[in-house]
Each structure stands twice: as C-alpha cells, then as structure tokens.
Copies of this chain bind each other. A is one copy, B any other.
Amino acid sequence: MGLWYDETFDGHTRLGLRVKQTLFSDESPYQKVEVIDTVAFGRVLVIDNIFMTSEYDEFLYHEMLVHPSLTTAPEIERVLVIGGGDGGTVREVLRYSDVKECVMIEIDQTVVDASKKFLPSIGTAWDDPRLDVRFIDGIDYVKHSDDPKYDVVLLDGTDPIGPGAVLFDQAFYQGCKRMLAPDGVMALQSASPLLMMDVFVETQHKLRSLFAEVHPYMGPVPLYGTGTWSWTWCSDTGEPLRAIPERQAEIVEAAKAYNDELHRAVFALPNYVKRALKL
C-alpha cells in the first residue's frame, strides 16, 4: 500500500497521504523540494514537508487566486506573479487574451524545474511568449525595480514560516503596492481563517493599512489544513462585486470550479470571520 506522508500542523493535527513513490527530492539553496506520487491526490509538490499543491485539487487554489482579480481589474495588460513556482497561477492568468505580459518572480529555480518535469499538467503555459519568468528575490524586486507598474499583482507565496515568511511582511506588501498601477488590483492567498485565524486577521490588518478596499474571500482546498482557505482582493478603487465582463465570461465558464455564481458567493463571509475582523 505504500507509506504515509503526513503534514503536521502545530503538532496537533495532521493530513496524511498514502504515497506510491517519491519522484523528486532535493535540497535547494532555499528549501527542501519534493514531488511525491500519492494514491488519492495524484502528484503532490511538497516544500519543507508542507503540501503545496496537487494534481487533484490545484485548480481550486489557482482559480481562486486568479479569477476574482483578473475579471474585476480595470486593466489586465501587465500582470505580476510573485511565487507560484508550480506554474498553476500563470496558467490561469494567461488564459486571458487581454494579458499582454505576465512577469513571474520565483526565488527558487528548483521548484520550477521540478514542476516542469513532474507536474506538467499544472504548468501548461510555460512556453507562452507573454510569460517572463525571473529567478530573483521577490522582496528585492518589489522594493527596487524600475519596471513599469502592473495592472494586477498576484502573491502566490507559501506559508508564513520558513523562507516564505517575508512574503507576509508589511514591507513586502508595501513594495507590491509600489509596483501596482493606481487603480490596479492585488490578490493574495491569505491563510486559513479556521486553522490560522491569527495569521489571517493579522494579514487583513496589514492590508487594510495599505489599501482602501480589502476583501477576503474563502473556498475549499482539500490539501490545505482543515480544507478551507482564504484569499484577499485589494485595491484603492473599485470593489470586487461587479459583473464579469462579457468578453471574459467564456474563460470563467470553462473553469473547473470558478463561475459567475461563485464570483459573488465567495465574498460572503461567515459570522465568525466577520466578528474576528470587526466587520
């Protein structure tokens, strides 16, 4: 039957997947990177013993990170993705023909190389000529780059521990905003309001100090602790509850999960989240 690979949260709860085989394992200069083949979730990218994404449920995460902002930002010509080494986020971004350039900043080339080789069903857009992948430090980039501003900035970081923790810093968010056009939209994964309510709330406060409009939204990701995740839509202008433009309707309806109904529904927050955020 194969061995169990367990991800343990805080030492108290664990999700275990039965492993058929380990396809890749390497210590990069930044972190331990593995790809395992599991019975239930297919191939899974694991970084520092934390499940990152799986063939089985990656669409639930990537569609939720990308579609709410790509369908509501006033312009989407230039898109910046920070992190997202598995390629799922840029794949969803590049479905939009209005996107002219997608810059992806990923510090760890090992993640991209392993994903290209072992997770080809996730990263299907690596060869898109609009994609510009740079293996550099995202923090340094957003603080110092002279590149033109972006219409959309998407943060696809790992958990707020280890080398990815700086991607949850106020200073990093400030840099991201520096790279964003005045009426641009930023979206990010923002932890689990169930498993990690403290991180979730702290992140919301940081974002509110920077953006006039900060709207968390929620959805299922079976691979992530407790199965419920959040993302957050941020902007200084506009708000996320507007209709999907007709020219983009086709993209959304072809999605595996996201659609016009979810486009509004995911922003409905349960009372325990509203109370924690004093909404």
Chain B residues positioned under 8 Å from A258 (CB to CB): 270-271
Bound Cα distance A4, B268 (Å): 35
Indicate whether A11 reaches chain B with its CB closer than 8 angstroms. Answer: yes
Specify the chain B residue showing the minimal Cβ separation from A15.
Answer: B15
Bound Cα distance A257, B269 (Å): 8
Contact between A253 and B227 (Cβ–Cβ < 8 Å)?
no
A69 smallest CB distance to B (angstroms): 18
Indicate whether A208 reaches chain B with its CB closer than 8 angstroms. Answer: no
Query: What is the count of identical protomers in the complex?
Result: 2
Interface residues of A in 4-63 (CB under 8 A from B): 4, 6, 9-18, 38-41, 57
Contact between A11 and B15 (Cβ–Cβ < 8 Å)?
no
A249 smallest CB distance to B (angstroms): 13
Chain B residues positioned under 8 Å from A17 (CB to CB): 12-13
Bound Cα distance A82, B163 (Å): 50
Contact between A270 and B264 (Cβ–Cβ < 8 Å)?
no
Specify the chain B residue showing the minimal Cβ separation from A194.
Answer: B222
Indicate whether A262 reaches chain B with its CB closer than 8 angstroms. Answer: yes
Bound Cα distance A220, B40 (Å): 20
Specify the chain B residue showing the minimal Cβ separation from A19.
Answer: B12
Indicate whether A255 reaches chain B with its CB closer than 8 angstroms. Answer: yes
Contact between B228 and A257 (Cβ–Cβ < 8 Å)?
no
Contact between A12 and B6 (Cβ–Cβ < 8 Å)?
no
Interface residues of A in 215-271 (CB under 8 A from B): 218, 220, 222, 226-228, 253, 255-259, 261-262, 264-271
Indicate whether A135 reaches chain B with its CB closer than 8 angstroms. Answer: no
Indicate whether A103 reaches chain B with its CB closer than 8 angstroms. Answer: no
Q: For the A-B complex with A9-B40, A11-B18, A227-B227 known, give 9 more contacts whose Cβ atoms are closer than 8 Å.
A: A13-B17, A194-B222, A220-B220, A222-B226, A259-B268, A262-B270, A264-B268, A265-B266, A265-B267
Can you spell out 14 A-B residue pairs with CB atoms less than 8 angstroms apart? A6-B16, A15-B15, A15-B16, A16-B16, A195-B222, A220-B220, A220-B227, A255-B271, A256-B270, A258-B270, A259-B270, A262-B268, A264-B268, A265-B265
List of 8 A-B pairs having minimum Cβ-Cβ separation, nearest first: A227-B227, A265-B268, A222-B226, A265-B265, A261-B268, A257-B270, A12-B40, A220-B228
